[in-house]
Amino acid sequence: MAAVLGKFRALQSVFGKANLPALTSTRFVARSSERQDTSEGWLSKLTVRKIEPTKESHSRMLSDKEIIYGLSTHNIRPNSMDKYLVNYQEYVNLIHSKKSDLQCDLIGSWVVEVGDMDQALHLWRYTGGYERVDRTLSTLSQNEAYHKLIQEQGSYLRSRHLQYLLAFSFWPQLVMREGPNIYEIRSYSLKPGTMIEWGNNWARAINYRRNNDEAFAGFFSQIGRLYNVHHIWAYKDFQTRKETRESAWRSPGWDNCVAYTVPLIREMHSRILRPVSFSPTK
Protein backbone atom coordinates (compact mmCIF):
# COMPACT_ATOMS: atom_id res chain seq x y z
CA MET A 1 0.00 0.00 0.00
CA ALA A 2 2.86 2.39 0.86
CA ALA A 3 4.44 1.75 -2.54
CA VAL A 4 1.17 2.54 -4.34
CA LEU A 5 0.71 5.80 -2.44
CA GLY A 6 4.29 6.73 -3.25
CA LYS A 7 3.71 6.27 -6.99
CA PHE A 8 0.49 8.30 -6.80
CA ARG A 9 2.26 11.24 -5.11
CA ALA A 10 5.01 11.05 -7.75
CA LEU A 11 2.42 11.35 -10.53
CA GLN A 12 0.84 14.33 -8.77
CA SER A 13 4.17 16.12 -8.75
CA VAL A 14 4.65 15.52 -12.51
CA PHE A 15 1.13 16.14 -13.91
CA GLY A 16 -0.42 18.23 -11.25
CA LYS A 17 -3.44 17.28 -9.15
CA ALA A 18 -5.95 18.90 -11.52
CA ASN A 19 -4.89 16.80 -14.51
CA LEU A 20 -5.44 13.44 -12.84
CA PRO A 21 -8.73 11.68 -13.54
CA ALA A 22 -11.24 11.94 -10.71
CA LEU A 23 -11.51 8.69 -8.75
CA THR A 24 -15.27 8.58 -8.52
CA SER A 25 -17.91 5.85 -8.77
CA THR A 26 -19.97 7.69 -11.39
CA ARG A 27 -19.80 5.00 -14.04
CA PHE A 28 -20.65 2.33 -11.48
CA VAL A 29 -23.71 4.28 -10.37
CA ALA A 30 -24.76 4.59 -13.98
CA ARG A 31 -24.46 0.85 -14.50
CA SER A 32 -26.39 0.24 -11.30
CA SER A 33 -29.11 2.57 -12.57
CA GLU A 34 -29.26 0.68 -15.86
CA ARG A 35 -29.61 -2.60 -14.02
CA GLN A 36 -32.37 -1.12 -11.89
CA ASP A 37 -34.27 0.01 -15.01
CA THR A 38 -34.04 -3.39 -16.68
CA SER A 39 -35.05 -5.26 -13.56
CA GLU A 40 -37.87 -2.92 -12.55
CA GLY A 41 -40.42 -4.83 -14.62
CA TRP A 42 -39.56 -8.12 -12.94
CA LEU A 43 -39.44 -6.61 -9.44
CA SER A 44 -42.86 -5.07 -9.92
CA LYS A 45 -44.24 -8.57 -10.48
CA LEU A 46 -42.81 -9.69 -7.14
CA THR A 47 -44.93 -7.14 -5.28
CA VAL A 48 -48.43 -8.17 -4.31
CA ARG A 49 -50.75 -5.55 -5.72
CA LYS A 50 -53.30 -3.92 -3.44
CA ILE A 51 -56.84 -5.23 -3.78
CA GLU A 52 -59.50 -2.60 -3.36
CA PRO A 53 -62.01 -3.18 -0.52
CA THR A 54 -65.31 -4.72 -1.60
CA LYS A 55 -68.67 -5.35 0.03
CA GLU A 56 -69.00 -8.71 -1.73
CA SER A 57 -67.45 -11.94 -0.44
CA HIS A 58 -64.68 -13.55 -2.46
CA SER A 59 -66.80 -16.66 -2.97
CA ARG A 60 -69.62 -14.61 -4.48
CA MET A 61 -67.25 -12.89 -6.89
CA LEU A 62 -65.36 -16.02 -7.97
CA SER A 63 -67.85 -18.87 -8.02
CA ASP A 64 -71.37 -20.28 -8.26
CA LYS A 65 -72.27 -21.24 -4.69
CA GLU A 66 -75.10 -23.54 -5.70
CA ILE A 67 -72.61 -26.37 -6.13
CA ILE A 68 -70.35 -27.39 -3.26
CA TYR A 69 -67.45 -29.82 -3.65
CA GLY A 70 -66.01 -31.93 -0.87
CA LEU A 71 -62.40 -33.06 -1.16
CA SER A 72 -61.51 -35.87 1.24
CA THR A 73 -57.84 -36.69 1.72
CA HIS A 74 -57.11 -40.02 3.42
CA ASN A 75 -53.66 -41.09 4.56
CA ILE A 76 -53.70 -44.89 4.57
CA ARG A 77 -51.66 -47.40 6.52
CA PRO A 78 -49.17 -48.89 4.03
CA ASN A 79 -50.38 -52.48 4.57
CA SER A 80 -54.09 -51.62 4.36
CA MET A 81 -54.60 -50.12 0.88
CA ASP A 82 -56.53 -53.06 -0.63
CA LYS A 83 -58.90 -53.39 2.34
CA TYR A 84 -59.37 -49.64 2.41
CA LEU A 85 -60.40 -49.48 -1.25
CA VAL A 86 -62.94 -52.28 -0.79
CA ASN A 87 -64.38 -50.40 2.17
CA TYR A 88 -64.56 -47.10 0.30
CA GLN A 89 -66.27 -48.67 -2.70
CA GLU A 90 -68.99 -49.97 -0.37
CA TYR A 91 -69.22 -46.45 1.08
CA VAL A 92 -69.66 -44.99 -2.42
CA ASN A 93 -72.34 -47.55 -3.28
CA LEU A 94 -74.23 -46.63 -0.12
CA ILE A 95 -74.18 -42.91 -0.93
CA HIS A 96 -75.23 -43.47 -4.54
CA SER A 97 -78.11 -45.71 -3.45
CA LYS A 98 -79.59 -42.58 -1.86
CA LYS A 99 -78.58 -40.21 -4.64
CA SER A 100 -82.13 -39.05 -5.45
CA ASP A 101 -82.56 -37.82 -1.88
CA LEU A 102 -79.07 -36.54 -1.21
CA GLN A 103 -78.16 -34.94 -4.58
CA CYS A 104 -74.60 -35.98 -3.84
CA ASP A 105 -72.38 -37.81 -6.31
CA LEU A 106 -68.78 -38.90 -6.59
CA ILE A 107 -66.70 -37.13 -9.27
CA GLY A 108 -63.40 -38.95 -8.84
CA SER A 109 -61.44 -41.25 -6.57
CA TRP A 110 -57.68 -41.45 -6.93
CA VAL A 111 -54.61 -42.85 -5.23
CA VAL A 112 -51.40 -40.85 -5.22
CA GLU A 113 -48.75 -42.27 -7.52
CA VAL A 114 -46.14 -39.51 -7.15
CA GLY A 115 -46.06 -37.25 -4.12
CA ASP A 116 -47.63 -38.16 -0.77
CA MET A 117 -47.62 -41.93 -1.05
CA ASP A 118 -50.26 -44.17 0.60
CA GLN A 119 -52.79 -41.42 0.10
CA ALA A 120 -56.22 -41.38 -1.53
CA LEU A 121 -58.29 -38.39 -2.68
CA HIS A 122 -62.06 -38.39 -3.24
CA LEU A 123 -63.96 -35.52 -4.85
CA TRP A 124 -67.70 -35.26 -4.15
CA ARG A 125 -70.26 -32.84 -5.61
CA TYR A 126 -73.31 -31.50 -3.75
CA THR A 127 -75.83 -29.97 -6.13
CA GLY A 128 -77.96 -27.44 -4.27
CA GLY A 129 -75.43 -25.73 -2.02
CA TYR A 130 -74.91 -26.20 1.69
CA GLU A 131 -78.53 -27.21 2.15
CA ARG A 132 -77.62 -30.48 0.40
CA VAL A 133 -74.52 -30.85 2.54
CA ASP A 134 -76.68 -30.49 5.65
CA ARG A 135 -79.23 -32.99 4.35
CA THR A 136 -76.53 -35.53 3.48
CA LEU A 137 -74.92 -35.30 6.92
CA SER A 138 -78.29 -35.54 8.66
CA THR A 139 -79.43 -38.54 6.61
CA LEU A 140 -76.18 -40.46 6.97
CA SER A 141 -75.98 -39.83 10.71
CA GLN A 142 -79.12 -41.99 11.07
CA ASN A 143 -77.82 -44.81 8.86
CA GLU A 144 -76.39 -47.82 10.69
CA ALA A 145 -74.53 -49.20 7.66
CA TYR A 146 -72.82 -45.84 7.21
CA HIS A 147 -71.52 -45.84 10.79
CA LYS A 148 -70.17 -49.38 10.43
CA LEU A 149 -68.31 -48.46 7.25
CA ILE A 150 -66.82 -45.33 8.82
CA GLN A 151 -65.71 -47.27 11.89
CA GLU A 152 -64.06 -49.93 9.74
CA GLN A 153 -62.48 -47.29 7.53
CA GLY A 154 -60.82 -45.67 10.54
CA SER A 155 -58.84 -48.84 11.23
CA TYR A 156 -57.15 -48.53 7.83
CA LEU A 157 -56.18 -44.84 8.15
CA ARG A 158 -53.40 -42.81 9.72
CA SER A 159 -55.27 -39.51 9.29
CA ARG A 160 -57.91 -37.82 7.13
CA HIS A 161 -58.87 -34.31 6.14
CA LEU A 162 -61.96 -32.78 4.54
CA GLN A 163 -62.34 -29.47 2.71
CA TYR A 164 -65.44 -27.90 1.24
CA LEU A 165 -64.58 -26.14 -2.00
CA LEU A 166 -66.09 -23.88 -4.62
CA ALA A 167 -65.24 -24.06 -8.31
CA PHE A 168 -63.76 -21.03 -10.06
CA SER A 169 -66.38 -19.65 -12.45
CA PHE A 170 -63.79 -19.00 -15.18
CA TRP A 171 -62.62 -22.63 -15.23
CA PRO A 172 -63.91 -24.87 -18.05
CA GLN A 173 -66.96 -26.93 -17.14
CA LEU A 174 -66.08 -30.12 -15.30
CA VAL A 175 -66.49 -33.09 -17.67
CA MET A 176 -65.87 -36.74 -16.82
CA ARG A 177 -62.97 -38.25 -18.76
CA GLU A 178 -62.60 -41.54 -20.56
CA GLY A 179 -59.45 -43.35 -19.58
CA PRO A 180 -56.83 -44.20 -19.16
CA ASN A 181 -55.50 -40.92 -17.77
CA ILE A 182 -53.24 -39.67 -15.07
CA TYR A 183 -54.28 -36.59 -13.10
CA GLU A 184 -52.15 -33.92 -11.51
CA ILE A 185 -53.43 -31.92 -8.57
CA ARG A 186 -51.39 -28.79 -7.99
CA SER A 187 -52.24 -27.36 -4.57
CA TYR A 188 -51.39 -23.80 -3.53
CA SER A 189 -51.48 -22.11 -0.13
CA LEU A 190 -52.00 -18.40 -0.79
CA LYS A 191 -51.25 -15.35 1.29
CA PRO A 192 -54.44 -14.17 3.04
CA GLY A 193 -56.21 -11.44 1.08
CA THR A 194 -54.88 -12.45 -2.35
CA MET A 195 -57.64 -14.76 -3.63
CA ILE A 196 -59.25 -12.12 -5.87
CA GLU A 197 -55.93 -11.28 -7.49
CA TRP A 198 -55.28 -14.99 -8.02
CA GLY A 199 -58.65 -15.29 -9.74
CA ASN A 200 -58.03 -12.23 -11.90
CA ASN A 201 -54.72 -13.61 -13.15
CA TRP A 202 -55.94 -17.16 -13.70
CA ALA A 203 -59.02 -15.96 -15.56
CA ARG A 204 -56.49 -14.94 -18.22
CA ALA A 205 -54.01 -17.76 -17.68
CA ILE A 206 -56.55 -20.55 -18.21
CA ASN A 207 -56.90 -19.46 -21.84
CA TYR A 208 -53.34 -20.69 -22.43
CA ARG A 209 -54.26 -24.16 -21.13
CA ARG A 210 -57.31 -24.98 -23.26
CA ASN A 211 -55.69 -26.31 -26.43
CA ASN A 212 -55.13 -29.85 -25.17
CA ASP A 213 -58.23 -30.05 -22.95
CA GLU A 214 -56.07 -30.75 -19.92
CA ALA A 215 -57.95 -28.49 -17.46
CA PHE A 216 -60.17 -30.79 -15.39
CA ALA A 217 -61.18 -28.67 -12.38
CA GLY A 218 -60.16 -25.59 -10.41
CA PHE A 219 -61.26 -24.96 -6.82
CA PHE A 220 -60.67 -22.72 -3.83
CA SER A 221 -61.40 -23.68 -0.23
CA GLN A 222 -64.24 -22.29 1.84
CA ILE A 223 -64.21 -24.58 4.88
CA GLY A 224 -61.16 -26.45 6.15
CA ARG A 225 -57.71 -25.11 5.37
CA LEU A 226 -58.39 -21.63 4.04
CA TYR A 227 -56.76 -19.79 1.15
CA ASN A 228 -56.07 -23.13 -0.51
CA VAL A 229 -56.37 -23.50 -4.27
CA HIS A 230 -56.45 -26.82 -6.14
CA HIS A 231 -55.97 -27.08 -9.90
CA ILE A 232 -56.57 -30.55 -11.34
CA TRP A 233 -55.21 -31.43 -14.78
CA ALA A 234 -55.79 -34.58 -16.84
CA TYR A 235 -53.14 -36.08 -19.14
CA LYS A 236 -52.85 -39.26 -21.14
CA ASP A 237 -49.43 -40.00 -19.62
CA PHE A 238 -46.27 -38.35 -18.30
CA GLN A 239 -44.92 -37.59 -21.78
CA THR A 240 -48.16 -35.84 -22.74
CA ARG A 241 -47.94 -33.81 -19.54
CA LYS A 242 -44.39 -32.73 -20.43
CA GLU A 243 -45.34 -31.73 -23.98
CA THR A 244 -48.48 -29.89 -22.89
CA ARG A 245 -46.69 -27.84 -20.24
CA GLU A 246 -43.85 -26.97 -22.61
CA SER A 247 -46.41 -25.84 -25.18
CA ALA A 248 -47.93 -23.45 -22.63
CA TRP A 249 -44.53 -21.90 -21.91
CA ARG A 250 -44.08 -21.21 -25.61
CA SER A 251 -47.32 -19.18 -25.68
CA PRO A 252 -46.72 -15.41 -25.43
CA GLY A 253 -48.29 -14.12 -22.22
CA TRP A 254 -48.20 -17.33 -20.18
CA ASP A 255 -44.92 -16.34 -18.52
CA ASN A 256 -46.42 -13.03 -17.38
CA CYS A 257 -49.40 -14.78 -15.81
CA VAL A 258 -47.05 -17.07 -13.90
CA ALA A 259 -44.84 -14.16 -12.83
CA TYR A 260 -47.80 -12.28 -11.35
CA THR A 261 -49.14 -15.27 -9.41
CA VAL A 262 -45.86 -16.47 -7.89
CA PRO A 263 -45.72 -13.66 -5.25
CA LEU A 264 -49.20 -14.64 -4.02
CA ILE A 265 -48.10 -18.17 -3.03
CA ARG A 266 -46.91 -19.21 0.43
CA GLU A 267 -46.51 -22.91 -0.40
CA MET A 268 -47.30 -25.25 -3.27
CA HIS A 269 -47.00 -28.92 -4.11
CA SER A 270 -47.90 -31.33 -6.89
CA ARG A 271 -49.22 -34.89 -6.77
CA ILE A 272 -49.78 -37.33 -9.61
CA LEU A 273 -53.02 -39.30 -9.20
CA ARG A 274 -54.24 -42.56 -10.70
CA PRO A 275 -58.02 -43.21 -10.80
CA VAL A 276 -59.20 -46.28 -8.88
CA SER A 277 -61.51 -48.87 -10.45
CA PHE A 278 -64.73 -47.30 -9.13
CA SER A 279 -63.84 -43.69 -9.99
CA PRO A 280 -66.47 -42.14 -12.31
CA THR A 281 -63.79 -40.10 -14.10
CA LYS A 282 -61.14 -42.33 -15.62
Please give the angle made by the CA atoms of 16, 18 and 21, to the nearest 5 degrees.
105
pTM of the model: 0.80
Per-residue pLDDT at 194: 95
Per-residue pLDDT at 85: 98
Handedness of CA 138, 140, 144, 147 (dihedral sign): negative
Q: Are 233 and 215 in contact (CB under 8 A)?
A: yes
Distance CA 156, CA 97 (A): 24
Distance CA 143, CA 137 (A): 10
Distance CA 139, CA 273 (A): 31
Distance CA 238, CA 181 (A): 10
Helix ranges (DSSP H) in the chain:
2-15, 26-45, 58-62, 81-97, 99-102, 130-141, 144-154, 195-205, 238-249, 254-261
166: left (phi over 0), alpha (psi -120 to 50) or beta: beta
Nearest-CA neighbor of 261 among 207, 190, 209, 210?
190
SS percent in the chain: helix, strand, coil, step 5: 45, 30, 30
pLDDT in 10s for each residue of the chain, 282 residues? 444 444 444 444 444 444 444 433 333 333 333 333 444 444 444 444 444 545 555 566 788 778 999 999 999 999 999 999 999 999 999 999 998 888 899 999 999 999 999 999 999 999 999 999 999 999 999 999 999 999 999 999 999 999 999 999 999 999 999 989 999 999 999 999 999 999 999 999 999 888 789 999 999 999 999 999 999 999 999 999 999 999 989 988 888 999 999 999 999 999 999 999 999 999
Per-residue pLDDT at 60: 62
Per-residue pLDDT at 26: 33
Handedness of CA 99, 102, 107, 108 (dihedral sign): negative
The domains found in the chain, sorted by start residue, are 61-275 (3.30.70.100)
